[in-house]
């Protein structure tokens, strides 16, 4: 059995042969055939005289000397060898007259019918670099023509490019030029193969163009959709498809695309118009903002057309058409739709041949999400061929959404519109999902309403109050060098005390350059910050232990060394082990007894933060129970306490 690629090669070869593109003859440099031979070889003309070599060819070619792969890697013009009248007659062309242009490029004398001799000037000789640049331009032109669907013009441009590089002479001394010539020759060969393959293999606009191949990847997705963890999602999405799919199918048929593509939103969004992905892709067709802009989906304060079912469908059709012109294979098109054409093209370029006629050649090299995307889509098509087999015949599809439009030029809230025309706000929200905040823009806007309600809305629009957005309570100001709260207050026509209350500034109104302040707008009431009430001071006692100091004790009980000295009538800071001190606990309760904690020996590389995090303690609490400060150092082997 032949593979798909071999069958494609045979088709191309048959086309080239029947269309006259392979008019080749055998041009081997062999001796004349033996006497008495009844047949003449291709390297010897019918008259028996030696064939004239074609100097336009770098090497002599024969279809019998090349393998099928080599044939298709050689451009059509390279393999052409027209049989001229000189070959048939055996007569050599007339020798050039003296003065004729030779390899030296000297002027030649040409004689007219009147017998007068004229001197002809040879055309200027182009540099090899210029010829290579010109050939490369023709290659680029061919690529553009191919993407526009003009295959014949693309082939002609490639023929021009190849004719240019065949004319390169005397470049044997420059290896760089030789390499550039070979690279161009190979590029042209691949482009010709791509164009002929796309002409005979790619099917444009056929409704059955998407192959449904059931392999282990597709079968795994079928199982997930029908009896796996995604079965509920699939049924719910299938139910919602009734709202939008009839419209999508109609537009796909009008565009000449396969109607099976109408199931893409099931995989992309589950037919949810407000579906938002982690990559910020939004809507039925999951457009990211940049791709949406490219295909005319506007996004502003009021509207995001990625959530508009009709406009996003038109954009998706345009995008799919563009991708199909690039790749020519619907499975590869779907992969590019998911992860972007740039990613797929990079994968294709990494292969030896810059063309793929089978998506599964790409499968292992694509991102995991994209690699699963195509099998999920094919699994959906397989399930939809026989919904009853998978229990979907019991799912009642939602009815298609019916509406008419009424153009208004007033900023109104859907809540007020619904009240004026006596329908529910939820109905208007469902019909107009592209309105980001349920507010129509101030410019003319086609608002969707239930059928028969449009005239009612136009009659009542004058009585609907215009929407006025609430004024912000604060504006923000970044402090600059030399500014004070007083100067900022004068600038915004407010008071110092209002700014201080809004930003909880201290009584000295200290502000820092670069800090952002909230400035209350005129008419805004700033709540008074609640005054902190002093806690009831409860006296407690602390028995001095080894390692204690007034500073550690004060920090532990949330007080100061001066308060401890005052309560205990101490004149200095010297303490004795076993001494009992009265301590006023004004901030926090004493730390738990170390009997309630467990000891831990510090290891090499440990830090207080690492130990606290490892034992699910806050750093402040760890330092407190171990009587450490943020600047304290710990050493391997030191004993600390943890929870």
Residues with a known catalytic role: 268
Angle at alpha carbon of residue 639, lines to 638 and 643, rounded to 5°: 135
Spatial distance between the Cα atoms of 78 and 166, rounded to a whole number of angstroms: 9
Residue 30: both structure tokens together:
């062999």
The number of CA neighbours under 13 Å toward the Cβ of 504 is 4
Contacts of 431 (CB under 8 A, 6+ apart): 401, 403, 448, 449, 450
CB 165 within 8 Å of CB 132: yes
The number of CA neighbours under 13 Å toward the Cβ of 105 is 5
Pairing of strands 639-642, 516-520: unpaired
Spatial distance between the Cα atoms of 593 and 603, rounded to a whole number of angstroms: 24
Spatial distance between the Cα atoms of 135 and 158, rounded to a whole number of angstroms: 8
Spatial distance between the Cα atoms of 449 and 460, rounded to a whole number of angstroms: 13
Find the largest Cα–Cα distance for the chain. Answer: 139
Contacts of 51 (CB under 8 A, 6+ apart): 25, 27, 43, 44, 45, 87
Spatial distance between the Cα atoms of 167 and 164, rounded to a whole number of angstroms: 5
Spatial distance between the Cα atoms of 503 and 515, rounded to a whole number of angstroms: 11
The total number of residues shown for the chain amounts to: 643
Spatial distance between the Cα atoms of 225 and 236, rounded to a whole number of angstroms: 11
Whose CA is closest to 56, among 30, 32, 31, 27? 27
DSSP, residue by residue, 301-350: SSBBGGG-HHHHHHHHHHHHHHHHHHH--HHHHHHHHHH-HHHHHHHHHT
């Amino acid at each position: 059995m032949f593979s798909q690629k071999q069958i494609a090669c045979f088709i191309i070869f048959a086309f080239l042969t029947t269309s006259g593109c392979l008019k080749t003859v055998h041009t081997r440099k062999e001796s004349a055939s033996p006497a008495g031979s009844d047949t003449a070889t291709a390297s010897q003309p019918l008259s028996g005289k030696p064939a004239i070599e074609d100097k336009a060819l770098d090497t002599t070619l024969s279809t019998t000397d090349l393998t099928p792969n080599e044939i298709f890697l050689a451009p059509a013009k390279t393999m052409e060898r027209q049989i001229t009248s000189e070959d048939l007659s055996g007569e050599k062309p007339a020798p050039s007259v003296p003065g004729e242009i030779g390899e030296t490029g000297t002027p030649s004398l040409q004689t007219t019918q009147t017998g007068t001799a004229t001197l002809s000037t040879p055309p200027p000789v182009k540099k090899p670099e210029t010829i290579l640049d010109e050939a490369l331009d023709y290659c680029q032109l061919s690529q553009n023509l191919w993407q526009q669907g003009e295959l014949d013009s693309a082939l002609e441009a490639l023929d021009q490019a190849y004719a240019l590089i065949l004319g390169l002479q005397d470049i044997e001394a420059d290896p760089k030029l030789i390499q550039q010539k070979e690279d161009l020759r190979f590029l042209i060969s691949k482009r010709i193969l791509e164009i002929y393959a796309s002409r005979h293999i790619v099917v444009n606009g056929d409704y059955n163009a998407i192959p449904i191949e059931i392999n282990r990847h597709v079968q795994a997705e079928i199982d997930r959709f029908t009896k796996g963890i995604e079965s509920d999602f699939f049924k719910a999405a299938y139910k919602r498809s009734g709202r939008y799919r009839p419209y999508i199918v109609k537009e796909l048929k009008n565009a000449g695309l396969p109607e099976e593509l109408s199931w893409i939103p099931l995989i992309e969004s589950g037919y949810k118009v407000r579906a938002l992905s982690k990559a910020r892709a939004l809507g039925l067709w999951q457009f990211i903002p940049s791709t949406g802009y490219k295909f005319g989906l506007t996004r502003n304060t009021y509207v995001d057309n990625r959530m508009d079912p009709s406009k996003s469908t038109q954009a998706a059709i345009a995008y799919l058409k563009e991708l199909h012109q690039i790749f020519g294979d619907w499975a590869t098109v779907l992969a590019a739709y998911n992860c972007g054409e740039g990613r797929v093209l990079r994968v294709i370029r990494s292969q030896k041949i810059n063309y793929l006629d089978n998506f599964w050649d790409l499968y292992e090299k694509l991102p995991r999400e994209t690699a699963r995307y195509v099998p999920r889509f094919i699994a959906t098509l397989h399930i939809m061929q026989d919904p009853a087999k998978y229990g979907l015949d019991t799912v009642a599809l939602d009815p298609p959404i019916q509406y008419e439009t009424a153009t208004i030029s007033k900023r109104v809230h859907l809540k007020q519109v619904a009240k004026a025309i006596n329908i529910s706000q939820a109905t208007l929200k469902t019909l107009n999902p592209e309105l980001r905040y349920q507010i129509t823009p101030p410019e003319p806007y086609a608002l969707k309403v239930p059928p028969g309600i449009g005239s009612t809305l136009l009659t009542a629009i004058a009585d609907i109050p215009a929407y006025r957005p609430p004024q912000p309570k604060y504006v923000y100001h970044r402090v600059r060098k030399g500014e004070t709260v007083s100067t900022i207050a004068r600038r915004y026509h407010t008071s110092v005390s209002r700014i201080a209350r809004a930003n909880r500034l201290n009584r000295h109104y200290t502000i820092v350059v670069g800090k952002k302040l909230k400035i209350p707008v005129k008419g805004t009431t700033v709540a008074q910050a609640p005054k902190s009430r002093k806690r009831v001071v409860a006296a407690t006692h602390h028995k001095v232990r080894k390692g204690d100091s007034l500073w550690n004790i004060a920090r532990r009980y949330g007080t100061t060394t001066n308060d401890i000295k005052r309560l205990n009538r101490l004149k200095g800071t010297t303490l004795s082990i076993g001494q009992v001190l009265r301590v006023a606990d004004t901030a926090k309760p004493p730390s738990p007894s170390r009997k309630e904690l467990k000891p831990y020996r510090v290891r090499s590389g440990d830090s207080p933060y690492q130990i606290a995090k490892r034992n699910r303690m806050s750093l402040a609490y760890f330092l407190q129970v171990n009587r450490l400060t943020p600047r304290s150092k710990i050493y391997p082997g030191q004993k600390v306490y943890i929870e």
